[in-house]
């Protein structure tokens, strides 16, 4: 169930949403007009779960292009909601803008609850009485800043929600975040993927302020698309609003399964794009880079743009070697492929590689490049298995962890990416030293083992100690991780 939170600019809608959801997801600032797109946040009260839709302040007299877009987003939120929470400013009193918003709500035929905000003390409760004139019944006096009356407001909201059976959580759900610098076309891509103007698009950089969650279905699979604010270099963050919007973009990457780093194809992959991609990969989500505005470069027919060079540069700069894709939000080029790639990355992140395949891989890489040796003792890679997913984690048993060099660990990691298409996916590889038997450490044969077998490198059952015929038992100790 969805509840649209609407009202005149700067009445405290986002502050109230944060209070009711016990979060700081909605950007709050004393400057009016900070919220622009509609943002959905889930909350729960008395066992009922519902979604609050935070919207931008609506001033119907304002003819500015941005304000018209905000009004369209508020109307779309009301069309999508089963209940409207109309927020007014008790300190400012009844204003013409409140009456215009009330007229708009009456035309939508959505049930309305009136909340008189900024009642920060008990003596101010009487200020709410003025809003009876709007015709929506008893106003609920609340304070988003102090928390006064919020319990009564939630009780009123839950009592007006229609009954709905619980919806089971879809384990196949994928969270896809679009992140990148300002004005590279993230919101345009979101609208093209959804097939509608769901978020505000403007040539003015920094239009998007919140991280907007947008659920939809693609080829019978559920996906939550997250549009985020542009991320500048720290030195160029100009004010507190921009700081908090960038912070929410980082948090969006942390809770995403897949991140698409959107770049401007006219500029190529910049150093800031690489930093943003590194940030996404450090958060643990699978990542790919997307060159948007490809139509403006002339595409493959443009001799000045070398796509192979951009891909080689990304592979050289980023350890996880994410793929570099091309698209155009204007023409719709490769939009379908981007979503297909996002699901493929999510599936590979949560999938498992069978142990027999991993041990064949281990044998193949040792033939390609012999393991390093220290002090005339060579590293032996004995056995490999996958121990976890999201992100994928692998364990390799070795005869001596001290003989594992960083260069050889990177070599294994890169071959693993190539073999199983782990480009852009964080990997963890544990090199685990196998314990020797007590008799072996003393230079004596173990129980049931002859000295001849010991010299030949076999145990008491005639099996080789190098692990080629090993049955997979580990007997391993803990080891430091080589995290990718």
Residue 468 CA to residue 363 CA, distance in Å, equals: 9
Q: Is 120 annotated as a binding residue?
A: yes
Q: Is 270 annotated as a binding residue?
A: no
Instruction: Say if residue 356 carries a ligand binding annotation.
Output: no
230 among annotated binding-site residues: yes
Q: Is 187 annotated as a binding residue?
A: yes
Rounded alpha-carbon distances, angstroms, from residue 463 to 80, 360, 383, 437, 460: 68, 19, 15, 15, 8
398 is in an annotated binding site: no
56 is in an annotated binding site: yes
Of the candidates 152, 141, 103, which has an alpha carbon nearest to the alpha carbon of residue 119?
141
DSSP string, 400-439: -GGG--HHHHHHHHHHHHHHHT-TT---EEEEEEBPPPHH
Whether the CB-CB separation of 114 and 83 falls below 8 Å is answered with no
326 marked as binding residue: no
Backbone angles phi, psi at 112, to 5 degrees: -125, 135
351 is in an annotated binding site: no
Angle at 204 between CA 202 and CA 205, to 5 degrees: 110
CA 475 to chain centre: 38
Q: Residue 478 gets which letter from DSSP?
A: P
243 token code pair? 């700081």
Q: Is 229 annotated as a binding residue?
A: yes
Handedness of CA 73, 78, 81, 86 (dihedral sign): positive
How many other C-beta atoms can be found within 10 angstroms of the C-beta atom of residue 469? 11
CB-based contacts of 185: which residues, under 8 Å, 6+ apart? 262, 264, 292, 293, 329
User: Is 124 labelled a binding residue?
Assistant: no
Q: Are strands 377-378 and 373-374 parallel, antiparallel or unpaired?
A: antiparallel
The answer to whether 45 is a known ligand-binding residue is no
- Is 236 part of any known ligand binding site? no
- Is 290 annotated to bind ligand? no
* 9 is annotated as contributing to ligand binding: yes
Q: Which residues, listed in sequence order, are joined to residue 398 by a DSSP beta bridge?
A: 381, 433
d(CA 16, CA 23): 10
12 is in an annotated binding site: yes
439 is in an annotated binding site: no
Whether 147 has a binding-site annotation, put simply, is no
Determine what percent of the chain falls in helix, strand and coil, rounding each to the nearest 5: 35, 20, 40
**Spacing of C-alpha 341 from chain mean position:** 15
> Would the annotation count 13 as a binding residue?
yes
Q: Does residue 354 have a known ligand-binding role?
A: no
**Peptide bond preceding 391: is omega within 30 degrees of 0, i.e. cis?**
yes
Please tell me whether 206 is known to bind a ligand: no
Q: Is 432 annotated as a binding residue?
A: no
287 is in an annotated binding site: no
Is position 353 annotated in a ligand binding site?
Answer: no
> 76 is written with which tokens?
């779309």
Beta strand 258-264 with 286-292 is parallel
- H/E stretch holding 54: strand 48-54
Residue 54 assigned to a binding site: yes
The encoded tokens of residue 85 equal: 């929470």
CB atoms within 10 A of CB 201: 18
| 24 labeled binding residue | no
Cα torsion at 236, 241, 244, 246 (round to 10°)? Answer: -40
Question: Per the annotation, does 191 bind a ligand?
Answer: no
Q: Is 292 annotated as a binding residue?
A: yes
The verdict on whether residue 57 carries a ligand-binding annotation is: yes
Picking from 82, 63, 70, the residue whose alpha carbon sits closest to that of residue 13 is 70
Is 185 annotated to bind ligand?
A: yes
Annotation: binding site for GTP: 7-14, 54-58, 117-120, 180-187, 227-231, 292-295
Annotation: binding site: 7-14, 54-58, 117-120, 180-187, 227-231, 292-295
């Amino acid at each position: 169930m969805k509840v649209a939170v609407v009202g005149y600019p700067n009445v405290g809608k986002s502050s109230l949403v944060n209070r009711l959801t016990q979060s700081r997801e909605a950007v709050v600032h004393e400057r009016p007009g900070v919220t622009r797109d509609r943002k959905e946040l889930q909350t729960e009260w008395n066992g009922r779960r519902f979604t609050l839709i935070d919207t931008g302040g609506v001033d119907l007299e304002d003819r500015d292009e941005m304000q018209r877009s905000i009004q369209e987003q508020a109307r779309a939120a009301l069309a999508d909601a089963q209940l409207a929470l109309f927020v007014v400013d008790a300190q400012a009193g009844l204003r013409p803008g409140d009456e215009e918003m009330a007229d708009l709500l009456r035309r939508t035929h959505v049930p309305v609850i009136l909340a008189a905000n900024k009642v920060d003390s008990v003596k101010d409760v009487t200020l709410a009485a003025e809003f009876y004139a709007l015709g929506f019944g008893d106003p609920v006096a609340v304070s988003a800043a102090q928390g006064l009356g919020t319990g009564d407001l939630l009780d009123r909201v839950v009592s007006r929600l229609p009954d709905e059976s619980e919806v089971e959580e879809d384990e196949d759900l994928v969270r896809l975040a679009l992140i990148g610098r300002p004005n590279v076309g993230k919101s345009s891509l979101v609208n093209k993927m959804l097939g509608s103007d769901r978020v505000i698009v403007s040539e003015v950089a920094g239009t998007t302020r919140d991280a907007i969650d947008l659920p939809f279905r693609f080829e019978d699979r559920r996906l939550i698309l997250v549009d985020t604010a542009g991320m500048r270099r720290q030195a160029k963050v100009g004010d507190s609003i921009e700081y908090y919007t960038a912070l929410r973009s980082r948090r969006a990457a942390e809770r995403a399964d897949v991140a698409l780093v959107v770049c401007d194809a006219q500029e190529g992959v910049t150093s800031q794009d690489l930093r943003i991609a590194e940030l996404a990969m450090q958060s643990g989500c699978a990542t790919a880079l997307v060159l948007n505005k490809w139509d403006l470069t002339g595409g493959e027919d443009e001799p000045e743009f070398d796509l192979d060079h951009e891909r080689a540069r990304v592979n050289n700069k980023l350890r996880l070697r994410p793929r570099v894709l091309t698209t155009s939000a204007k023409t719709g080029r490769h939009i379908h492929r981007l979503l297909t790639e996002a699901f493929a990355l999510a599936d590979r992140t949560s999938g498992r590689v069978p142990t027999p395949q991993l041990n064949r891989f281990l044998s193949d890489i040792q033939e390609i490049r012999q393991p390093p040796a220290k002090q005339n003792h060579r590293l032996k890679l004995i056995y490999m298995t996958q121990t976890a997913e999201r992100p994928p984690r692998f364990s390799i048993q070795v005869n001596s962890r001290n003989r594992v060099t960083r260069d050889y660990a990177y070599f294994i990691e890169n071959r693993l990416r190539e073999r199983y298409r782990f480009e852009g996916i964080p990997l963890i590889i544990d090199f685990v030293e196998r314990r020797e038997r007590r008799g072996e450490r003393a230079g004596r044969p173990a129980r049931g083992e002859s000295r001849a077998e010991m010299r030949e490198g076999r145990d008491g059952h005639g099996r080789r100690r190098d692990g080629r015929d090993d049955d997979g038992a580990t007997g391993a100790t803990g080891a430091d991780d080589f995290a990718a």
